[in-house]
Amino acid sequence: MTESEPQQPARRMSMEEKFPRALWVRLIVYVAVGHLFAGFIYLLFVLGGQNQ
């Protein structure tokens, strides 16, 4: 390697480099909303089962 060639930094392939930050935020929001919706449906079944 000569002095005139720029040195490239060693790239580390991490999960953050593979997926953009916006995708991680969207994934967390979808998981959270999905769990809230599932909890609401479960609550409806529990409350509906008590009325029988």
Per-residue pLDDT, 37? 98
Residue 5 confidence (pLDDT): 57
Q: Flag whether pLDDT at 8 surpasses 70.
A: no
| Whether 1 contacts 7, CB under 8 Å | yes
- Which tens digits make up the pLDDT trace of 23-44? 999 999 999 999 999 999 999 9
Band of pLDDT at residue 2, cut at 50, 70 and 90: low
H/E/C letters for each residue in the chain?
Answer: CCCCCCCCCCCCCCHHHHCCHHHHHHHHHHHHHHHHHHHHHHHHHHHHHHCC
